[in-house]
Amino acid sequence: MKKYLFVAFFAIVLSSSTLEGQEKYIQVPVSHVTVFSRGAQLSGDAAVTLQPGTWEYVAGGLSPYIDPNSIQVRGEGDFMIMGVTHRNNYLENPAESDEISTLRDKIKALQIRIEDEETATEVLLEKERFLKANYDVVSQKSAITPDQLKALMDIYGTGMESVKTAILKKNRILKEYREEKEKLDQQLAGTIDRSKMPTGEIVMTLSGSKPVTGRLNISYVVMNAGWQPAYDIRVDDITDPAIIIYKANIWQNSGVEWKDVKVSLSNAAPMTAGYLPVLDPWFIDFYQEYALNEMVVVGYGTKGRPARQAKAEDAVMMDLEASAPMPVTVTESNISFSFDINVPKTIASGGKQETVELQRLTVPATYSYAATPKIASSAYLMGYITEWDKYNLLPGESNIYFSNTFTGKGYINTAELTDTLPVSLGADNSITVKRDRRTDFTSQKMIGANRVETLSFLISVRNNKSKAVTVRLRDQLPLPQNSDITVEAVELSGGKQHSATGEVTWDLPVAPRETKEIVFTYSVKYPKNKKVILE
């Protein structure tokens, strides 16, 4: 009996020893990274030599932030992959501190909020496009009656104002969230101690019936990485085409260095300066002041959005010969495209951005000056880039240079379905614009039961340049939303009136050292027992 017990015990010990020896550690260095706007897919491979039987191979030293659902393992050789699991090795490195965990939770919560607000903004933008499309379709019908047009304008004005106000609020919220997340990301990058982080491991169960040599190809996704497009837009002269320098800001905080890897930048989402002031329609209607028991007409809506001021900076010069774009191949599929950088890159973990120049494009462009004297006394040089949709541009911030001088920051919005891409090249100080009230021609009169207010302005443009320019001036008439209010254009000096928006435009040629003037006068008639605020 003792003999049998000894044999059984020996067999168990031998079996246990054999099982422990079946877990073999291998290194699978990252050789290719596909970076998305949020997240990155890491890929690598390693050779394996497999003896007959079932074995566990462990790919260790990986990122501790692997998404287990994204793991893919492919084998090359005469063996079978029986199973794949993921784990973090907390013995190799101690557990992450509570401070870092708290920061990660805050960042994750902020990212969820950002995604929610971005989705809500997309819905609002779709609603805005829907309103405009329906307005264009209905207003262009020849059979529409004045009453129907008025009703359409009421619906369009109210709906568009509500949507634009909501979009503005969403953009402000997004700006606050992104700034807060950026601060947390920087704090996290400065707090992480690599020695206190666990390492990720992928455990693969392999089975074969004979000795074999093969390869394992492993890929997985980490979420704390990404890239953003950025641009330099350069124009030397208004007779030249525009130069777009397409760049990528790449960052990663995966916990492991990407050393000498092939990098692809994809627009896929596998997990799921100045601007010219804009004149919005200016609506006026009656408002009930209950405390005074009388009707008062006030202006509401917006009289225009001020120009986005570029941060005051000294003139910045950039030598185009000092750098060159990386050798890049553009790969397109049915639903996405990627920039494949053909030179291996090393990107350290820690969240610090690395900028890579992808392309340098010379694109056709036309130029013109525009001014909104009601809001700003500057004339803006506008560039209109054509055929921009051929270059795989993505929405992103831009630095704008004119005549080799930094003029401000802008934003390339490729989400708009337009044939030309407008770019503000900044204010030109050699062209001055003024809008002065003509007090002698501004009046209030009583005509029967109505009050008639007349407002008149002198708009002047001075060209201090050595060559002639054409400046598009933009002003506006108020849009009444009540049948008791009548607006009449008294003097437009040849300006073109857009009835749907109230905007008036003039294309004014101005010779060198010349000053041109136009008169803009309009009147508003409304019941004399009511009030209207026009300025």
pLDDT digits (tens, 9 = 90+) for 125-183: 888 887 777 766 666 665 666 766 677 677 777 777 888 888 888 888 988 988 888 88
How far, CA to CA in Å, does 147 sit from each of 144, 150, 409, 425, 485?
A: 8, 5, 45, 43, 15
**Mean of pLDDT values over 254-261:** 90
DSSP state of 309: P
Hey, which residues does 41 pair with through a beta bridge? 34, 221
CA 210, chain centre distance (Å): 55
CB count in 10 Å sphere of residue 251? 21
How far, CA to CA in Å, does 494 sit from each of 364, 373, 491, 519?
A: 31, 17, 8, 9
**At residue 301, what is the residue type?**
G
Name the residue among 285, 250, 257, 516 with its Cα closest to residue 379.
Answer: 516
Q: Is 116 helix (H, G, I), strand (E, B) or coil?
A: helix
* pLDDT value, residue 16: 38
pLDDT digits (tens, 9 = 90+) for 300-346: 333 334 333 333 333 333 444 445 566 788 877 766 788 999 889 99
**Mean of pLDDT values over 488-511:** 93
pLDDT digits (tens, 9 = 90+) for 5-31: 343 333 333 333 334 446 899 999 999
Does residue 293 register a pLDDT over 60? no
Contact 441, 411 (CB under 8 A): no
Residue 37 phi, psi (nearest 5): -60, -35
Q: Determine the Cα–Cα distance for residues 470 and 300; give it in Å rounded to an integer.
A: 33
Q: Determine the Cα–Cα distance for residues 106 and 195; give it in Å rounded to an integer.
A: 23
Percent of the chain with pLDDT over 90: 39
Q: Determine the Cα–Cα distance for residues 201 and 196; give it in Å rounded to an integer.
A: 16
Q: Band the pLDDT of 190: cuts 50, 70, 90.
A: low
User: How far from each other are the two terminal CA atoms of the chain, in whole angstroms?
Assistant: 110
pLDDT digits (tens, 9 = 90+) for 427-479: 888 899 999 999 999 898 999 899 999 999 999 999 998 889 999 999 999 99
Task: Report helix angle 98-139 to 146-191, nearest 10.
Answer: 160
CA angle 321, 326, 330 (to 5 degrees): 130
**Mean of pLDDT values over 241-263:** 92
Q: Band the pLDDT of 104: cuts 50, 70, 90.
A: confident
Q: Determine the Cα–Cα distance for residues 407 and 534; give it in Å rounded to an integer.
A: 35
For tokens 């129907």, name the residue: 148
* pLDDT value, residue 388: 79
How far, CA to CA in Å, does 187 sit from each of 159, 176, 398?
A: 42, 17, 26
Mean pLDDT of the chain: 81
Residue 508 phi, psi (nearest 5): -110, 110
Whether pTM exceeds 0.75 = no
β pairing state of 378-386 and 420-437: antiparallel
Name the residue among 56, 86, 49, 89 with its Cα closest to residue 71.
Answer: 86
Please enumerate in sequence order all residues whose Cβ is within 8 A of that of 505, keeping only pairs 6 or more positions apart, or say none: 472, 473, 474, 495, 496, 498
Contact 214, 78 (CB under 8 A): yes
